[in-house]
Copies of this chain bind each other. A is one copy, B any other.
Amino acid sequence: MSDLPSRVEIHEEGPREGFQIEPGPIPTADKVKLIEALSETGLTHIQACSFVNPRLVPGWADAEAVVEGFKPVDGVHYTGLYFNGNGFDRARKYLGKLTLSGSISLTASEGFTKKNLNRTHAENLAGMRRQAEAHLANEIPVNRVGVMAAFGCNYQGDIAPSQVIKTLQDGMQIAEETGAKITLFSLADTMGWAAPHRIEQVIGAVRDRWPEMTLSLHLHDTRGLAVANAHAGLKMGVSRFDSTVGGLGGCPFAGQPKAAGNIATEELVLLCEEMGIDTGVDLDNLIEVGRLAEDIVGHQLPSELLHAGSLNAFRREALH
């Protein structure tokens, strides 16, 4: 079952995930500083902000100022997250500086769709069809189907692999109807339910059905299993991951204020490096940026590697 990728593409979401959940307020200049520091680590994909309703997510009320503020580095793709037409319109103003690509974003849990998005799965499908059409009408490609709560849900419990397949099929149906060319499936463990065994089952089922599709995992370390889940995913051929430097972020669902955030980018990079998988990231540089992130948010972040440091200095010394 092992199908290890030779290279992994990491999508850094620390700024977006972190600043949306930190109590703050965090100065715009600090957000810009973190994005610019991340840009020098070898990361090539950075989600820089979220174009969401500032009443709902006050931490991103300054999304425009952040995008205008940072100096982009050649070869790095910057993105912004948005959920609806209004967010799409805000993001489009920065087309060029931001890389825009559409996503058909669904949820494997009807309970979560209702609680989080306040709509039924059918209503969500209709909304995603309209959003895909809006992207394509603006010549922005739609190449991704995303499934949230793909491994379990606080509102619905365990999610069967067959439910993930069904949700992806719904997404592919929208793609067919709208003419979107899907090359990527992204599966999110939105509430930290995944375990390695479940990762193997779900990824196995998805690969059986769509063997040519690039697969991405969005993992949260809510219950400490994120790195083990990433390892299971790598062994199943997953070649893209979302992550956050320092493990920025959290779990805004169901009252878990002290819960950890996403899988920490530096721990993912260490895992890949030790397995001989290229990420393009300078680990020691990234760890320094993680420490900057701690300074910015003003408290210790969950990443353990951040506090211990990498093995590189020990290895260099051991040669003498």
Contacts and interface: CB of A to CB of B under 8 A. Distances in A.
A318 B157 contact: yes
Count the copies.
Answer: 2
A208 to B, nearest CB: 19
Nearest to A4: B197
A38 B223 CA distance: 20
Given A224-B305, A308-B192, A314 B254 contact: yes
A223 to B, nearest CB: 4
Contacts of A152: 311, 314
Nearest to A225: B227
A89 B24 CA distance: 56
A297 to B, nearest CB: 15
A304 interface: yes
A293 to B, nearest CB: 15
7 nearest A-B pairs in the assembled complex, by CB-CB distance: A157-B318, A195-B274, A224-B267, A258-B307, A224-B304, A228-B228, A260-B304
Interface of A: 111, 152-158, 192-193, 195-198, 221-225, 227-228, 230-232, 251, 254, 256, 258-260, 264, 267, 270-271, 274-276, 300, 302-305, 307-311, 314-315, 317-319
